Amino acid sequence: MDSDKRRVHVVTYGCQMNSHDSDRMLELLEPLGFEGTTDKLSADLVILNTCSVREKADQKLFSELGRLREWREEDPSRILAVGGCVAQGMGNDLLQRCRHLDLVFGTDQLAELPDMVSRISAHRVRVAATEWRKADEFDFLPIRPQRRMEGTHAFVKIMKGCNKFCTYCIVPYVKGRELYRPAKEIVDEVRLLVERHGIREVTLLGQTVTSYNLKNGKSGEPRFAELLLRVAEIEGLHRVRFMTGYPKDVHDDLLEAFRIQHKIQPYIHMPVQSGSDRILRMMNRGYRRATYLEKMAALRAARPGLSLTSDLIVGFPGETEDDFLQTISLMEEVRYDSVFSFAYSERPGTRAESFADSVPQAERRKRLVHLNAVQDRITRALLRECVGLTQEVLVLGPSARDPQMLRGRTPEHRMVNFVGEAQVGDLVQVDILEAGHHTLRGAQVVINAA
């Protein structure tokens, strides 16, 4: 290892947007002579990239800060930094509360990270920076062309922030308003990933990607469906996905894109949150159960076999047993491939925090267990229905369990471990032979070109 190199370790909490930001942080710090390390305690700089979406996520930060106290105090040249959503929410308070912390930087401050780290190294100041950037000052930080990339899949950020203000959710407060990355920049980044890094599949990333340029977009900039089509046209790219879709903003142009462009994969993460109209209204989701179901049916008509996944909240204030059972019946109707399910968690500053009729914690946990049991049954049934099919699989690498086997994903994003002989990034046909709890097993169809 280069002796004048300094080492940085980033701990990421929360969603894909945060992982994406963590990658950008590592890239930004490279020109300062920092290289990433997986060994936290040997690092010169530790960054905790935080999440505040549920209370548990908050608590994780404080226990980690406690554990890092000794590391920080052992060597005065070390730097301890907190970024991400808790940093944005708490700002200077966090710096005051934790004396061994050097830097608190908000979610719009990524581009300034190298400067702040340099200042701290030189002058040992303590810094809190949580201002919002104006639209024309915000930097989406393109992936650096020279970075090393592994694998065949990449995330590409297309927007930041959220304007929806669901009553339970802290994200709009900690990530700020929606800003859309220019389409040309997105297309150029995907092209670079394909041409230089051999990426074959991209996931376009944002809190509500279907809102891209929908209301406040600049003139001449495409809406989401058009952006998908432009990205899909890139030669050498096999597959396009996106995350997360917002049901209210699904319109005919998206259905049409699914109809005409088969590089757009038949898999959408489209959270419903609840199956009860009463709760959906209190959540301010902007759609009703019936409209959600109609839109999902229309998407499945546009692309038969489309698989859907969802996020669900149980125990929202005022949720009765009957409301909860409506969520269960919606799950049975949609048949999600999988869901992320959460017990409602009160977040400071959100509207729902002051809603009456909070559901007892024990009841929230009980509903969560019930919901997860229903989903496990649906997930297993859907996997079993794949047995006997021959599916197109994008090869990701050797199987984690058995290195003699390969691992890849079907268009519906299901993981398959299979016997075969192919290269990473190949698209191959695989006979699905067996279904496990979460994954499939199969054998590659080898065509002898004799």
Please give the residue ranges that form the binding site for ligand SF4 (CB under 6 A): 162, 164-166, 169, 171-172, 207-208, 246
51 binds, among ligand SAH, ligand SF4, ligand F3S, none (CB under 5 to 8 A by kind): ligand F3S
Site size with ligand F3S, rule: CB under 6 A: 13
Taking each helix axis from N to C end, the angle separating 289-302 and 321-334, rounded to the nearest 10 degrees, works out to 10
Q: Does 209 bind ligand F3S (CB under 6 A)?
A: no
For residue 241, the minimal CB distance to ligand SF4 (Å) is 18
Q: Does 276 bind ligand SAH (CB under 6 A)?
A: no
Q: Does 347 bind ligand F3S (CB under 6 A)?
A: no
For residue 162, the minimal CB distance to ligand SF4 (Å) is 3
194 touches 242 (CB < 8 A): no
Q: Which is nearer to ligand SAH, 105 or 344 (CB)?
A: 344
For residue 11, the minimal CB distance to ligand F3S (Å) is 12
Binding residue for ligand SAH, selected from 54, 241, 289, 409, defined by CB under 6 A? 54
Q: Which is nearer to ligand F3S, 159 or 194 (CB)?
A: 159
Q: Which is nearer to ligand SAH, 284 or 345 (CB)?
A: 345
Quickly count: other Cβ atoms within 10 Å of residue 434's Cβ: 13
158 touches 179 (CB < 8 A): no
Q: Which is nearer to ligand SAH, 17 or 383 (CB)?
A: 17
* Residue closest to ligand F3S when measured from CB atoms: 14
Rounded Cα–Cα distance for residues 190 and 413 (Å): 20
Q: Does 171 bind ligand F3S (CB under 6 A)?
A: yes
Binding residue for ligand SAH, selected from 16, 121, 163, 345, defined by CB under 6 A? 345
Q: List all residues 6 or more positions away from 358 whose beta carbon is below 8 Å from its beta carbon.
A: 317, 346
Quick note: the x/- pattern for ligand SAH over 206-245, rule CB under 6 A, is: -xx-----------------------------------x-
Q: Which is nearer to ligand SAH, 6 or 269 (CB)?
A: 269
Backbone angles phi, psi at 307, to 5 degrees: -105, 145
Query: Of 25-33, 103-111, 163-171, 392-400, which part binds ligand SAH (CB under 6 A)?
Result: 163-171
Query: Of 167-175, 289-297, 366-374, 376-384, which part binds ligand SAH (CB under 6 A)?
Result: 167-175
Quick note: the x/- pattern for ligand F3S over 16-55, rule CB under 6 A, is: -xx--------------------------------xxx--
Residue type, 114: P
Q: Which is nearer to ligand SAH, 358 or 439 (CB)?
A: 358
Rounded Cα–Cα distance for residues 39 and 36 (Å): 9
Rounded Cα–Cα distance for residues 160 and 52 (Å): 16
347 binds, among ligand F3S, ligand SF4, ligand SAH, none (CB under 5 to 8 A by kind): ligand SAH
336 binds, among ligand F3S, ligand SF4, ligand SAH, none (CB under 5 to 8 A by kind): none
For residue 421, the minimal CB distance to ligand SF4 (Å) is 43
Q: Which is nearer to ligand SAH, 22 or 244 (CB)?
A: 244
Q: Does 347 bind ligand SAH (CB under 6 A)?
A: yes
For residue 327, the minimal CB distance to ligand SF4 (Å) is 16
Binding residue for ligand F3S, selected from 9, 10, 14, 395, defined by CB under 6 A? 14
The candidate with the shortest Cα–Cα distance to 401, out of 386, 418, 389, 420, is 418
- Residues making contact with ligand F3S (CB under 6 A): 14-15, 17-18, 51-53, 84-85, 170-171, 174-175
